[in-house]
Structure formats: structure tokens, C-alpha cells
Chain A
Amino acid sequence: MSEVKKIATRASYGNALVELGKKHDNLVVLDADLAAATQTGVFKKEFPERHIDCGIAECNMMGIAAGIATTGKVPFVSSFAMFAAGRAFEQVRNSVGYPHLNVKIGATHAGISVGEDGATHQCNEDIALMRTIPGMTIINPSDDVEAKAAVEAAYEMDGPVYLRFGRLAVPVINDKPDYKFEIGKGVLLKEGTDVTIVATGLCVGGAVEAAEKLAADGINAEVINIHTIKPLDEEIILNSAKKTGKVVVAEEHSVIGGLGSAVCDCLSEKMPTPVCKIGVNDVFGESGPAVKLLEKYGLDAQGIYEKVKGFMGK
């Protein structure tokens, strides 16, 4: 079996910006002293005049992006999820969200797969925070292909977008000729009848793998990739839940306020269905190699597999 190609979605972000920058003069990139980590360094190298390093001042950076957006340029603001969504939350809400400005937030190093840096830098709350801002689009791509497509789609749409990227290299799973990315449209990756696994971001790969293991045990799981958390593709979730009657949601985010909550919001109102949420269980993360952390916190394929089995009463 050939080695699976792995790329961190933060790298996809930087590469996609370079490609978009070639096509669009009005695209500018902002960083807060993390261009090397957010991988926008490649853009800086290619377009130094359109790369603005704001220094270690994320709140100001968000405001600068808002001001730039009012003049018709399209700023991509880059930082770690912790600082983009966390520290600068109120700037995102009041200077970007309320005026509904065309600012794209590229938030890298989301979730516990940040790894060794530990809990202070592992943001498991960003989706929850961003979901509460009216008019905010939230995209959490699952691999390199999807991340690049998401960056381009974010540029093409008018309005604020929160793009969530990871530090850890993850398998490329969407390199298929028929792959199509559309904001707000979930992707049915595997059909099944016994249980629906709704996954986002880094957990999508794990969910697909878990479904294969479940199949060997006689459990036929349907797998849906929800890359756009807001606006949520309710139709694909409701249709699947109607068929399977059981829904598992897997995400590298707190079980409070993330995709799991969004799916519960939808199902509880429109089609009450038993739901099992897989995520970070209202705890802070810790230091360690990313892969080991994902294993410990039950967010890898094995963790998803075991949780689904338990949920199915098997």
C-alpha cells in the first residue's frame, strides 16, 4: 500500500493565498508575528508589499483588517485560533461582524493537535465563539484539497468568513476527480443505514476509517463531512438522521458549542434523534505529541470507532 500523502491545512492556507494573490491584486494578508507558523510566509515572499505584519497585537490587527475591508480590498487575517477567535473575539464581533465586512479570518493551530505547546495554545472554543456572531460563515476543512478550495470560496463570497486550519499534517482524502466544494453544502462520503457519523475538520479522516472498522463488525455507518459549520447544511443531516435514526458528531473542538451543538440544535427542533457527541469533553488540553493527544482524547479513528460501538450498544 502506498504511503498516504499528508499535509497540514495551515500549509494549504499559505499556498492557496499565493495562488489567489496572483489572480487578485486586492487580496492582502495580515499576520501578527506568526507568518512562519500560519504558513503565510510563502505569500509574504511572493507579495511582500501586500503582506502586513502587525506585530504581536491581534486585536489591532483585526481592526486594521476591518478598516482595509471598508476600502474594497480583501484582507485575510492570520493568527492562531486562540488569538484570532479568542483574544480578538470582541474585535471580530464589533469591528468585523456587526458591520458585516469582507474580512477573512485564517485561524491556524486550532484544537488539541497543536500538540506540544499545550493548553494555552490549544483552542477548542473557537467554533463556539464564532457561531454566535450573526452573519459569520465558518469553514473547517478536512484536508489539503478542501482547505485550498475553502480559501478560494471564501475570497469569492462577500462577507466575513472564519477559516479553521490545523497544525498537524493530515491525510489527503478529497483528491477525487468529482470533488466539489460549495460553502454550506455537506459532503456524503459513505452511505450507510445503521448510524450517521457527522464529522468536521481533522476528524473526517478518522470518521471514514472508523466506518471501515465498523463495517467489519457489521455496522453500516453513513459518513458526512460538514466543512461549513455555519451556515449548516441541515438538509443533509436531517435526511441521513431520518434514515439511520442515530447520529454521532465528531470534531476536534469542545463538545460545548461546536458542530455537535449545531447538529443538536437542528435535530432537536426538526427531528429529535439520539445524538452522541465526540469532542473535547469540557477540559483543557495538555502538552504532548499531537497524534498521542488525539488518541488520548478519543478523537482518532479508534476513538471514534469505540464511541460509535458504545452508542450502538455493542
Chain B
Amino acid sequence: MENLELQKTANEIRKGIVTAVHAAKAGHPGGSLSAADVYTYLYFEEMNIDPKDPKKADRDRFVLSKGHTAPGLYSTLANRGYFPVEDLTTLRQIGSHLQGHPCIQHTPGIDMSSGSLGQGISTAVGMAMSAKLSNDSYRVYTLLGDGEIQEGQVWEAAMFAGHRKLDNLVVIVDNNGLQIDGKIEDVCSPYPIDKKFEAFNFHVINVEDGNDFDQLRAAFKEAKETKGMPTAIVMKTVKGKGISYMENQAGWHGKAPNDDEYAQAMEELKKAGEALCQK
């Protein structure tokens, strides 16, 4: 898919995120929006998947370790055709298949339940290990928050993945710089993130702008070409990307827009979409 198409798709996915969180009156827009472009790249360009056969054995796997940004993943899956986009407005409602955090048993396309931070990466490592055991060719991708890597289990998983040389594993860190209580470097700094993964025997790719498809394309290409060690893609992103009043605001980590804010967000995305169509 051309970059322009990816950008248009990401814009639609952002509309789905804002719509879902607004309808739920709860949820996590900030980290969903910062990762909207990487979700788009993974599901529309990178991964071997089939929305008509979500459980096909040789599919690439994705584990959303930062499970609270489920609205981003749900919107991506809906736009990719796993389930109707209309379902997004049922987010977090009783009886909905769209739980507050991803659930493998409820939602088509979800490869693992996640949301308790630090646990998703271990399960992704398990999937990658399993592929190695039986010489399967699928690849495994997992997305972590930069606050999430404060969890010790992340480094247990990283140590194992490096030790086992799991080159079918790509760990992506969404480095938007903010967590609930503020800037990550003020709360409990995980920096330098790249050097930490290097020390755990990862091939590390720093992406200066994780909301840029050229840079994402180059990073995932390099990851695929990397043999003998797992890859960590540490991508700088903008939390709340695409909605002016949400960008770089920790306060929008886990808060839903009210009706006025929602209208403004959708207007901004509509204009962004129109601008893309004129390119």
C-alpha cells in the first residue's frame, strides 16, 4: 500500500478511536492515537493475516502488550474487515465483544488477552519460541508503552528473547514520552531505552518519527532482514497524535472527549482526510 493510502487509512482509524472512546465515555485515546500509524502499517502492510480467517495457523501474530490502547487496535481490526466498524460504538458496554482491554475469546483478530502491563510481551515471546520449536515461519509483533517498560517482567522477557535469539520477534516501544502521572522521565525514567534493549541482545532500531510511514517501512524492513537476534523498534511518537488538543497531553491518557470535544476532533480528522484526498 502506498504511503498516501496508509495515511488515509490511519485517519479513518483515528476517527474510529475517537468515536469509540466518546461512545464509551471512557477509554484511552492518547496512546491509541500515538500508535494509530504503527497499527495501520502492521495490519495493512506488514503482517501476513486474513480477516476472513482470523485463526489461520501460519498467520503473523500481534500482541498488544499495552492493552489499554485497545481502541486503536479495535479500530484497526474493524477497518481491516475483521468485524463491522459500527461495533466500535459498543466499546466497554455490557455484552459487547469489545472489552476495555483485548480479550482473545471475544474479539476476532485478537491473538492474546492483554492489558495487565508487562505480561503481553512474555506471551509474544512464547509465541515466537513456539514457532522456533516447530520451524514455523510466522512472525510475532508486540507493542509496548514506554511507561510499561517500567515493569520488571518486560526485562525478564527481553532477556529470554535475546538469549534464545528469537529473530522472528519484533518488540515495538511506543515512546510517546507520557504516562498517567506525567512525563516518563519525571515519574521513573526508563531512558536510555535503546541501550537497555541492546544490552539484552536485541537489534535496536530507533525511529525518529513513529507517525511517519517512510520511517516505519524502513524499520520493519530492517527488522525482517535481521537474523540471529530479536529486534526492538523504539519509535518516538506524539501522544494524542492527530487531535490538536490531545497532542502531548498526559491528561488525555485515559479520558473520553465530551460531545463538544468529540465534534471538534471529528472535524479535525475530516479536514485531515480531505487534505489527504487532494494530494
Contact = CB atoms under 8 A, between A and B. Distances in A.
Contacts of A100: 105
Contacts of A49: 133
Contacts of A91: 119, 122, 153
A62 B160 CA distance: 13
B112 interface: yes
B111 A70 contact: yes
A57 B121 CA distance: 14
A50 B63 CA distance: 24
A71 B112 contact: no
A252 to B, nearest CB: 30
Interface string B124-165: 111111110110100000000000000011001101100100
Interface residues of B, number: 35
A284 interface: no
B133 A50 contact: yes
Nearest to B57: A72
B103 A67 contact: no
B129 A60 contact: no
A90 B116 contact: yes
A26 to B, nearest CB: 9
Interface string B83-123: 00000000000000000000111000001110110111111
A57 B63 CA distance: 20
Contact of B129 (A52, A59, A94): A52
Given A64-B122, A65-B126, 20 more contacts: A54-B160, A55-B160, A57-B153, A60-B125, A60-B157, A63-B125, A63-B157, A66-B122, A66-B126, A67-B123, A67-B130, A73-B133, A73-B134, A90-B116, A91-B153, A95-B119, A98-B103, A99-B103, A99-B105, A99-B113
Contacts of B131: 71
A64 B160 contact: yes
12 contacts: A55-B160, A63-B123, A63-B157, A66-B112, A66-B126, A67-B124, A68-B127, A70-B104, A70-B111, A70-B126, A75-B126, A100-B105
Contacts, number: 101
Nearest to B118: A59
Interface residues of A, number: 29
A64 B152 CA distance: 15
A71 B55 CA distance: 10
Contact of A60 (B61, B63, B122): B122
A90 B126 CA distance: 17
Contacts of B136: 71
Contacts of B153: 57, 59-60, 63, 91
Contacts of B124: 67
A71 B130 contact: yes
A28 B134 CA distance: 11
Given A50-B133, A73-B133, A60 B127 contact: no
B126 A64 contact: yes
Top 8 nearest A-B pairs (CB, nearest first) are A67-B126, A63-B122, A60-B156, A64-B126, A57-B156, A67-B123, A99-B113, A71-B130
Contacts of B133: 28, 49-50, 73
Contacts of B122: 59-60, 62-64, 66-67, 91, 95
Looking at B104, B111, B152, which has the most chain A CB atoms within 10 Å of its CB? B104
Given A60-B122, A90-B116, A71 B127 contact: yes
Given A68-B130, A73-B130, A95 B123 contact: yes
Interface in A16-70: 28, 49-50, 52, 54-55, 57, 59-60, 62-70
Nearest to A91: B119
